[in-house]
Amino acid sequence: MSNNVTTTEKGPARSRAATRSAATPPAGEIGLGMLPELIGYHVRLAQMAVFADFERSLGTLDLSPGLFGLLVIIEANPGLRQIQLAAAARLDRSTLVPALDKLEARGLVERRAAPDDRRSNGLFLTRPGAGLLQRAKAIVRDHEQRIAGALSAEERAVLVRCLDRLAPEVRES
């Protein structure tokens, strides 16, 4: 099996690549080789497209996808310690610090000294933080409908189940 130069496998033999070995491949006919056969390639493109919409949507509130995720987790777990939040968000604890600094500087999140262990901080949403998050969640639900609008509820469920089954060995964490 040789590589496809174009995406189509069959069809009449085009003018051979060798015929124009030093020439420029015509625009619009640039092949991607084996890349479209790789699931990771499609996952990456989907990620880029979904995140572009996500970022543009939340940009209204000056929130990144990452900061939004932190707010959601803090809301679901009031009093969470930084190290626990880092684990839940799959970040290093040092990565979390500047992110929380931003949220705290904007008055959305509060670090309260933990009563039982003075090394730790308990994390809480402030009232403005909770309010902003409610608006953000509404925006994110709109985003979700926009990006997945072409898929039925069943297709979405299948998609998520397939995604969750990818690279199981890497996920033992």
Structure tokens at 162: 């397939």
Q: Could you say which of 14, 45, 60, 138 contacts a copy of itself (CB under 8 A)?
A: 45
Of residues 103 through 132, those in contact with DNA by CB under 7 A are: 111, 117-121
Contacts of 50 (CB under 8 A, 6+ apart): 147
Q: Is 148 exposed, middle or buried (0-12, 13-18, 19+ CB in 10 A)?
A: middle
Window 150-169: residues binding a copy of itself (CB under 8 A)? 150-151, 155-156, 158-160, 162-169
Member of 39, 61, 97, 138 binding a copy of itself (CB under 8 A): 39
CB of 155 to DNA, least distance (A): 27
CB of 102 vs a copy of itself, minimal distance in Å: 19
Work out whether 31 is an interface residue with a copy of itself (CB under 8 A).
yes
DSSP assignment, residue 26? Answer: P
| Structure tokens, 56 | 């543009």
Q: Smaller CB distance to a copy of itself: residue 38 or 97?
A: 38
Angle at 94 between CA 89 and CA 96, to 5 degrees: 40
Task: Identify which of residues 112 and 128 has a Cβ nearer to a copy of itself in the complex.
Answer: 112
Of these, 5, 73, 91, 147, which contacts DNA (CB under 7 A)? 91
Please tell me the count of residues contacting a copy of itself according to CB under 8 A: 80
**What single DSSP character describes residue 112?**
E
**Spatial separation of the C-alpha atoms in residues 15 and 129, rounded to whole Å:** 62
Instruction: Count CB-CB contacts under 10 A for residue 98.
Output: 9
CA 47 to mean position of chain CA atoms: 6
Residues from 48 through 67 that contact a copy of itself (CB under 8 A) = 48-54, 65
Residue 92 interacts with, from DNA, a copy of itself, none (CB under 5-8 Å by kind):
DNA
